[in-house]
Amino acid sequence: MRSARLALLLLSALLTGCTSPGPTGQAAAAPADVTAALDPVSSPQWATDMARFAAQDADQPPPAHPVVFTGSSSVRMWATLAADFPRQPVLNRGFGGSQLRDAIWYADQVAVRYQPRRIVLYAGDNDIDAGRTPEQVRDDFRAFVARIRRDLPEVPIAYLSIKPSPARIDQLPAQQRANSLVKVEAAQMEDVDFIDVATPMLDAEGRPRAELFGDDNLHMNARGYELWRGIVAPYLR
């Protein structure tokens, strides 16, 4: 564990300064060594989401030290989040379509600024769909943890595994490899959990359970989120 922590601290040093927000809500430029290791944001549209989060905070201050859920649309569309975890002050900061590296660039806006008690991340689904490799997902996960640890060294982090879906059934092997790589990585880190939401979403033949998804066969319906609630709840106690 000591060697893993040392490696994490070294990576954290490389990431220093990479997510300071600019005056327009854009992710600020990072030092050259960081940009060499971390790809740019996947889309400029995330600046709009960051402005929306800031407006929501101004209109209704978020709870103190919340459990922050962030990542892509599977978090953004979790409309019952507060009701599903009534004993926890939860805050939804998902931005649909985002990739794992976007959560790194915008870590200040979606997590750090709230001084959370815990961070739950769902990302990697869109990364694989965009052609990124499982190894890139693993590396970006490692960088996300290092970025959070820079400012929040004691805050637990949980990573929700990439979910299988009927719409992306052809990507299932790559998703499963990414999940395996991240699981191994997380096991070497302190206060980092890998939460397997993917395996219970498969049927006896190893295919995504269609009854958990909406009409687009990509995003979950109420039954899907009910399944996730039961899996995630023990990690929030």
Rounded mean pLDDT of 73-92?
97
pTM: 0.86
pLDDT digits (tens, 9 = 90+) for 224-234: 999 999 999 99
Q: Does 96 fall in a domain?
A: yes
Q: Which token pair is 69?
A: 């859920």
Q: Does 48 fall in a domain?
A: no
What is residue 170's DSSP assignment? Answer: G
Q: Does 32 fall in a domain?
A: no
Q: Does 228 fall in a domain?
A: yes
Identify the residue with better confidence: 11 or 38.
Answer: 38
> How far apart are the C-alpha atoms of 221 and 78, rounded to whole Å?
9
Burial of 145 (0-12, 13-18, 19+ CB in 10 A): buried
> Reduced to 3 states, what is the DSSP secondary structure of residue 11?
helix
- Please list, in sequence order, all residues whose beta carbon lies within 8 angstroms of the beta carbon of residue 89, skipping any fewer than 6 positions away: 63, 64, 65, 66, 67
CATH code of residue 192? 3.40.50.1110
Q: 170 lies in which domain range?
A: 2-20+64-236
Number of domains in the chain: 1
pLDDT of 3 above 70: no
pLDDT value at residue 237: 77
Q: Does 30 fall in a domain?
A: no
Q: Does 231 fall in a domain?
A: yes
Q: What angle do CA 33, 38, 41 make, to 5 degrees?
A: 125
70, β-bridge pairs = 93, 121
pLDDT band at 37 (very low <50, low <70, confident <90, very high): confident
Name the amino acid, one letter, at 101: R
